[in-house]
Structure 1
Amino acid sequence: MKDNPIIVGLDIGTTKITTVIGEVGEGGIVDIIGEGSVPSEGMKRGAVVNLERATHAIRQSVQSAERVSGVRVESVFVSVAGNHVKAITSHGLAAIRRHQEITQPDVDRAIENARAVPLDPNLEIIHTLPQEYVVDGQEGIKNPVGMHGVRLEVDVHIVAGTAGPLLNLRRCVQEAGLKVEGFVLQALSSGLATLEAAEQSQTVIVIDLGGGTTDVGVFKRGNLAHSACIPIGGDHVTADLAQILKLPHEEAENVKRKYGAAVPELADPDLTLEITTASGSTHAISAFELSRIIKPRLSEIFGMVRDEIDQALGPIELVAQSVVLTGGASLLRGTTELARDRFRLPVRLGRPRGIGGLTDIVSGPGHAGGVGLVLYGIGQDGKVPVSVFREEPAAAPTPAPTPVPEDPRGKAAATVTVVTPAAPTAPPKKEKDKDAPNLMTRVRGFFKDWL
């Protein structure tokens, strides 16, 4: 554990930037004492595209968390995501002298041999995460120190990022007056915050549905064994709605959160939205039809995740026992049901657990990455601290999704009106509204051109 009991995680995403301040007490128990979230600026798909705006947003997030905690932040663990991150698994070997116990230097030598793989000179290693060890052919060893053998082997998951994007991210944090304590893969931090004790002995797929990217981590017996980044996220669902319904992005996000569903059958059958576009034209769309716009994009994301794992590890049904969904975009109604159908595995919503303090604020899936950064900072070994599984506090009530504020520019670009039926108790009408066929024709045309 670090000497400093205060650990700070800075989760820099495409849609928001979150700072989480954790205090480590006796026995490694973690209390969250500060949190600050602001809309993200200057970021796109995990990479910095505007240094000045990204620095400003980082500074705002940190200052917000400082005001809550009363603690001055000096150094942070920073999340890393995006297509520039690459990961490989390498095998290392170390010979042990006869009649000698395996020592920590022997373990370090095996890991160092695993690191000695040819990498692009433009890549910077972020993590070197050992998997289970093998001593003289005996597998499943967590810690070989003190054991006897002549051959020590280890598989190491190596995560590296392109130097340019990492330098830009480091510069933004430093310009905000902070020191980068270390970079942490987004999929790793999300897994550290959401995996439960029973899942430490299984193979679990953690899918972090963010705004601009979807980060995937495959955890085998508590160790990150495979990772990937899909360059599509919740913002792409919002963009589809904005394009088809002719709404500004902010209003489309609001409609998605309040009335959308990933599975049309779970949409409110009595709900109809009346949309007035900027040109003054008005059309109606039911919640069922709204969900039919949302589902294809989420299905595409889950399909890409499945393809990634199938190609890297084999059929997903044979590789993993369950799936954990987390990230802000996972809160959309029906997302777990859709994932369960696509992966044919048990699926649950992952929330940060095993922490105290401001649990009512950081208990949602959107804070999994930030809380995971704090947990990583305790040991910096890529494993969930044992203290997290001791006397876990009761789960906090699920917070309601934060409503999206109205367009601050005050534009009368478009309006959405909820139309409720005259007799809510009557069964929904089977015949469609006369305007619906025209709308669905446009929707089908859009998807035909898009595909």
Structure 2
Amino acid sequence: MDKKSILAIDVGTGMVKVLAGRQETDGRIELYGSGAAPTAGYVRGVITDVSALAYSIRQAIECVVMATDSHAAGSVYLGISGSMLVAQNSMGTVATATSGSVTNADVERACKAAVFSVANSEYEVLHVFPAKEVITQLGAALEVETHIVSAPQSILQGLSNALSESGIQLNGIVASGIMAAEGMNKELPGQPANFIFIDIGAGVTDISMYVGGCLCSSASLPLGGDYITNDLMQGLSVSRAHAEEIKRYYSRLSPNLRNQGIVLDCNDYGTVDKHIPFDFLYDIIESRVDEIVTLVYSYLKPLQEEYLTNQGQAFEAIYLTGGCGAMPSVATCVTKVFQIHTETVKPEGLAAEYVHPANTVCYGILKHGSRISANEPVAGRSAWSLLVHKAKKLLKI
């Protein structure tokens, strides 16, 4: 791989996924290879064993190296999510450099002020997004509300050190859900200004809320497809792998099969008694889907009222992605509960065999890393991040 190649690592509850590629001048992502390994040391967004997780990441990267028949070179970006991420909004106020106008430099300085106001020596800032700009006194003061995402330095440093011992040098650690949303932002159907982007994985649901085209809120909730898998394991007395296969099989079937007396052959190797009524599967799976969506709605409802303050403003769409988000019944349930147009999206910019909602995070990380390697501006990560890091050390904030 050349120096401009990117290794995008998505740490999920079930699997660690790695895509290797680069962004071409026409914006298309060219992939060199992919890899995956079962996740260890990471449960529903919580790192329980740094060494075990580092080993899983190493295994996934080795799959890429074998597939590309080369050494893993270029830049390496790791996506994380879960309760370790802390999202907060902070206001930064500065005087504008020129009376009557606001420049990018003014906004940048206001973002710096916002970060310093919430700086904490125990946390490292991963992303800073300008969410809302207000001129309080024309020519005198600019207020910028920012959305800041941080993570504990001890966790980030511990993971970086464990990977370094395995020969993996990270160029950056990013928030997975936000990278998925940012990577797809310019490719969403309809290009709405106000929308909610939801990435539902096995153990974590990442939420990104956009108002006026700007990220204003994000969260990682400990909810996901594992709830469905666990119920299937108990209800059908099958292994986890078998339950996952049944879940995928069910996702390809029409809900219209309900009340038709349909019995499904769900046998796997070593089983002969797994002939399961469709209605029984429907009741197990759909009750859990409804529960997951209802919990997400309960979290988002007050935020919708908080951020949509202008009269007549409303969210135009909800976009779903992720392995569990790809289930058709999830989109149906979200539409019913939220009463908002809902679509499932996937990274169409990848080669056909990789166009699946489960690869959206890696796609976003690839685009993020490619912009950095090309020295282009990157939303949520300014050039002054190094300055902030040095200043915090100097001031011992």
Where does structure 2 lack aligned partners over 5 or more consecutive residues?
A: 381-397
Q: Does structure 1 residue 208 correspond to structure 2 residue 199?
A: yes
Q: Does structure 1 residue 106 correspond to structure 2 residue 106?
A: yes
Q: Does structure 1 residue 150 correspond to structure 2 residue 140?
A: yes
Give the match for residue 124 of structure 1: 124
The correspondence for 2:176, drawn from 186, 197, 218, is: 186
Q: CA RMSD in A?
A: 3.2
How do 1:425-440 residues align onto structure 2 when only pairs under 5 Å count?
none
How do 1:110-259 residues align onto structure 2 when only pairs under 5 Å count?
110-118=110-118, 121-135=121-135, 149-195=139-185, 196=187, 199-259=190-250
Cα separation, 2, equivalents of 1:283 and 1:9: 39
Equivalent residue letter for 1:56 = Y
Equivalent residue letter for 1:322 = A
How do 1:361-380 residues align onto structure 2 when only pairs under 5 Å count?
361-379=353-371
Cα separation, 2, equivalents of 1:314 and 1:263: 35
How do 1:398-437 residues align onto structure 2 when only pairs under 5 Å count?
none
Secondary structure of 1:156 counterpart: strand
Give the match for residue 338 of structure 1: 333
Q: Would the alpha carbon gap of residues 70 and 25 (structure 1) be closer, same or farther in structure 2, given more than 3 Å must change? A: farther
CA deviation after TM superposition for structure 1 residue 271, in Å: 3.1
Equivalent residue letter for 1:379 = R
Bigger Rg over Cα: 1
Q: Is the 8 A contact 2:286 2:329 kept in 1?
A: no
Where does structure 1 lack aligned partners over 5 or more consecutive residues?
A: 139-148, 385-451
Q: Would the alpha carbon gap of residues 250 and 25 (structure 1) be closer, same or farther in structure 2, given more than 3 Å must change? A: closer
CA deviation after TM superposition for structure 1 residue 272, in Å: 1.3
Moved more, 50-59 or 78-87: 50-59
CA deviation after TM superposition for structure 1 residue 213, in Å: 0.9
Q: Is the 8 A contact 1:213 1:230 kept in 2?
A: yes
Cα separation, 1, equivalents of 2:67 and 2:154: 34
Cα separation, 2, equivalents of 1:199 and 1:68: 37
Cα separation, 1, equivalents of 2:361 and 2:135: 35
What percent of counterpart residues are identical?
25
Give the match for residue 46 of structure 2: 47
TM-score (norm 1): 0.72
Secondary structure of 1:334 counterpart: helix
Cα separation, 2, equivalents of 1:191 and 1:226: 12
Give the match for residue 58 of structure 1: 57
How do 1:256-295 residues align onto structure 2 when only pairs under 5 Å count?
256-259=247-250, 265=256, 269=260, 271-273=262-264, 285-295=276-286
Q: Would the alpha carbon gap of residues 171 and 221 (structure 1) be closer, same or farther in structure 2, given more than 3 Å must change? A: farther
Q: Is the 8 A contact 2:192 2:316 kept in 1?
A: no
Q: Would the alpha carbon gap of residues 240 and 91 (structure 1) be closer, same or farther in structure 2, given more than 3 Å must change? A: same
TM-score (norm 2): 0.81
Cα separation, 2, equivalents of 1:129 and 1:22: 26
Q: Would the alpha carbon gap of residues 116 and 59 (structure 1) be closer, same or farther in structure 2, given more than 3 Å must change? A: same
Q: Is the 8 A contact 2:23 2:367 kept in 1?
A: no
Cα separation, 1, equivalents of 2:273 and 2:87: 49
Equivalent residue letter for 1:369 = V
Q: Would the alpha carbon gap of residues 221 and 7 (structure 1) be closer, same or farther in structure 2, given more than 3 Å must change? A: farther
Secondary structure of 1:328 counterpart: coil
Equivalent residue letter for 1:249 = R
